[in-house]
Amino acid sequence: EVQLVESGGGLVKPGGSLRLSCASSGLAFSNAWMIWVRQPPGKGLEWVGRIKSNSGGGTTDRAEPVKGRFTLSRDDSKNTFYLEMNSLKTEDTAIYYCTTGYSDSSGGYHGDDAFDVWGQGTMVTVSS
Amino acid sequence: QSALTQPPSASGSPGQSVTISCTGTSSDVGNYNYVSWYQQHPGKAPKLMIYEVNKRPSGVPDRFSGSKSGNTASLTVSGLQDEDGADYYCSSYAGSKILLFGGGTKLTVL
């Protein structure tokens, strides 16, 4: 069974930093594109960013609100994916989910448009 | 304000059908057949229900179907069951913006 487990959330002051981790098991991690999605309390989902597999170039892309502040990285030797968050703002308060692209039955891979395995989420609260 | 527009709520009685819309623009929904739908129960992570507009992952009941016309995608749930009550989110590939989500629709089974 594929599992993703996030950790590293907590309470941080505005302007502070935090690093989230997403550990995977049962997943061909080195081939997977990994994604962060966040959800503010009581609100909808927001795509935060994605890192491609190293064989896919390892390219990262981030949503406009987090560009220049958040960095995505991966350590394939540890099957772990990271989100480094700096200059945090109150509007970054959310549950942060890690997820992975969906491999369909026809051999297609949906790294940027469909995500089938999700972690349980980790809460990040930015408040003074 | 979310990038894709969904109605905040929808409802139906058991056995009925309900359709939830998701309106974007010619830069996202209208330009790509990469619309997905997710179901989220309270306190749980989202679950992929539909991908590529109208395809179901293994294990998703065929009561769930998707379609698209122009800049608007739709999710239809037929033969509503109590466990279908949840929040539903659409998403669309959006080129350089990568991925946009809708604001979500709370489906209530009456």
* Beta-strand relationship, A10-12 and A122-126: parallel
Structure confidence at residue B1 as a pLDDT band (50, 70, 90): low
Q: Is A64 helix (H, G, I), strand (E, B) or coil?
A: helix
The predicted pLDDT at position B2 comes to 63
Q: pLDDT digit string (tens) for B68-90?
A: 999 999 999 999 999 999 999 99
Identify which of A69, A93, A64 has the alpha carbon closest to the alpha carbon of residue A83: A69
Choosing among B99, B105, B106, which should be mutated to test the A contact, i.e. which has the most A CBs within 10 A?
A: B99
Structure confidence at residue B3 as a pLDDT band (50, 70, 90): confident
The predicted pLDDT at position B96 comes to 86
| Token reading at A75 | 């350590």
**Percentage of residues in chain A having pLDDT higher than 70:** 100
What is chain B's mean pLDDT, rounded?
96
* Beta-strand relationship, B9-12 and B105-109: parallel
Whole-angstrom Cα distance, residue A13 to residue B59? 43
Whole-angstrom Cα distance, residue B83 to residue A25? 29
- Nearest chain A residue to B35, by CA: A113
Residue ranges for chain A with pLDDT beneath 70:
none
Per-residue H/E/C for B47-90 = EEEEECCCECCCCCCCCEEEEEECCEEEEEECCCCHHHCEEEEE
Angle at B84 between CA B82 and CA B89, to 5 degrees: 155
The predicted pLDDT at position B65 comes to 98
Burial classification of residue A66, based on how many CB atoms lie within 10 Å of its CB (0-12 exposed, 13-18 middle, 19 or more buried): buried
Q: pLDDT digit string (tens) for A65-95?
A: 999 999 999 999 999 999 999 999 999 999 9
d(CA B28, nearest CA chain A) in Å:
11
Q: What is the CA radius of gyration of chain B?
A: 13
Q: DSSP for A20-51? A: EEEEEESS-GGG--EEEEEE-TTS--EEEEEE
Which residues of B lie closer than 8 Å to A, measured between beta carbons? 2, 32, 34, 36, 38, 40, 45-48, 51-52, 55, 57-58, 89, 91-93, 97-104
What is the H or E stretch that residue B95 is in? none
Phi, psi (5° rounding) for residue A123?
Answer: -85, 130
Whether B14 has a pLDDT exceeding 80, the answer reads yes
Instruction: Write the residue in B2, B36, B103 that is nearest to A114 by C-beta.
Output: B36
Q: pLDDT digit string (tens) for B38-58?
A: 999 999 999 999 999 999 999
